[in-house]
Amino acid sequence: MATGFVFLWFSFFILLSSTVSIAKITPRFPSSIVRPEQLSAALSTKNQLYETKYFTQILDHFNFNPKSYQTFQQRYLIKDTFWGGAHNNAPIFVYTGNEGDIEWFTQNTGFMFEKAPHFKALLVFIEHRFYGKSIPFGGHKDVAYSNKSTLGYLSSTQALADYATVITDLKKNLSATDCPVVVFGGSYGGMLAAWFRLKYPHITIGALASSSPILNFESITSPYSFNDIVTKDFRSESENCYKVLKGSWDQIENKANQLGGLEALRKSFKICKNYISASSLEGWLTTAYYYTAMTDYPTLSNFLNPLPAYPVKQMCKAIDNPTAGNDTFAKLYGAANIYYNHSGTATCFDLADDSDPHGLGGWQWQACTEMVMPTGGNNKESIFPESLWNYDNRVTICKSMYDIVPRPNWITTEFGGHDIKRVLKRFGSNIIFFNGLRDPWSGGGVLKNISESIVAIVAKEGAHHVDLRFSTKEDPEWLKDVRKQEVNIIAKWIAQYYHDLAHLSS
């Protein structure tokens, strides 16, 4: 079974986060990846899920030299089935696209589809530049990704300006100038949604920013936070599970250093015969722990991989299974199988697979420029070996890859983050920050209300943007309550907008 680009991206960036050899991986935000045949039954209607359109977008919004006026085709998806129409000033719900193909995010953001009929909303999902089919330089990815001069146009600020331009043009073409816009996003898309509300308050009346770690920069959030939460997730299920994971790294290293050790590890973990090393195996396991913690949903899911409900619990059950006896590698294999092979179809796992079927590669550039989010620290209690976050390692790798030096202070300079409660209380409004505390990214999220209209909804049992997923009959009451809160708040924003609009018209 091919583990794909996501794993190898992790492995490549081992050196970015740690001073030790064992995989301390800088986590990439997971993309909502789902195959068309696995779409929610809620979307299995006679109507097309969405219509695909393209907007002629300018290359550079912030300069006026001739090259800036080059254009590219930016994809967006639209669904007007539920829309009340421009004549009724019905709302427009816009998803601010993440670091990947916009169709995957659209197909996983069930919350917007399910609530659109209630609000009579038009749905729009805009793809992030340099991802999916929204590739500058003639749509040729090999050209767009070829060097720092072309990749230099890939940034959060350019993406936000793209969204502002698309929304403004779309409203004009639909004669919907007075229709209120609410933006939605999860993970990096959630960060963009929050920043969009702050930067373009004249375009959107509010933002739902789910699992958006806007505080995971500089020293605002501890570099130990991410792995502390991963550790807590597994330890909360079983102390034995925690101890097995914590003690496993030395055993892998010791076995790998023995004569025939790598071959023994290959057999224990059913690794394909083309490639194995201790570090690649450790990265493969770490990736599984990271993503399982992030997607520890209370129901079946198909995120990056198909997973059972409560997958962290299932991993720990595999580790605690008495049939494995004292064989640590059998325990770890059972756990990894939950993430990599829940379908039961894999015959071996390819650690050398470098395919990128979902077009996620642009995040490497973003992590080397502005998205410098310290996550690689591990304290003595961590399930991963003790280590420090090492910014110098990132600089070294980014110089090697792109001949550039990251700008770790740029995000907080451009969008803020320090003393956020005092700052946003002065000028911000109408943002919902949702965070589930089982999500490792929640440590960098807004976890307390900032004002009456900048609200933090925190779910103790929640995982990575679980609120945006399609609802199921098995959803727990706390998740239903989260969504009700979000709907009620958005309804208040829209009602206030209509009230203000009527007052201005009278």
Which one, of 209, 193, 166, 332, lies nearest residue 265 by Cα? Answer: 332
DSSP annotation string for 408-447 = TTHHHHHH-BTBHHHHHHHH---EEEEEETTSGGGGGS--
**Is residue 436 a contact partner of residue 442, using CB atoms and an 8 Å limit?**
yes
Radius of gyration for the chain, computed over Cα atoms and rounded to the nearest angstrom: 23
Cβ of 341: how many Cβ atoms within 10 Å? Answer: 18
Q: What are phi and psi of 148, to 5 degrees?
A: -70, -25
**Is residue 433 a contact partner of residue 457, using CB atoms and an 8 Å limit?**
yes
Which one, of 446, 384, 422, lies nearest residue 212 by Cα? Answer: 446
Q: Is 212 known to be catalytic? A: no
Please identify which of the residues 439, 442, 465, 467 carries the catalytic annotation.
Answer: 439
At 462, is the secondary structure helix, strand, or coil? coil
Strand duo 206-210 + 51-58: pairing:
unpaired
Cβ of 476: how many Cβ atoms within 10 Å? Answer: 13
**Is residue 193 a contact partner of residue 184, using CB atoms and an 8 Å limit?**
yes
Pure H helices in 215-361: 225-237, 239-256, 261-269, 278-294, 311-320, 328-340
Which one, of 435, 439, 469, 463, lies nearest residue 449 by Cα? Answer: 435
Neighbour-count burial of 493, counting CB atoms closer than 10 A to its CB (0-12 exposed, 13-18 middle, 19+ buried): buried
The β-bridge partners of 79 are 123
**Angle 363-371-70 (CA atoms, 0-180°, nearest 5)?**
65
- Give the N- to C-terminal CA distance of the chain in Å, as an integer: 65
Please identify which of the residues 11, 31, 187, 442 carries the catalytic annotation.
Answer: 187
Q: How far apart are CA 308 and CA 302, in angstroms?
A: 9
Q: Is 128 known to be catalytic? A: no
The β-bridge partners of 125 are 77, 95
In the block, residue with structure tokens 């933002």: 207
Catalytic residue numbers, as ranges = 187, 439, 464
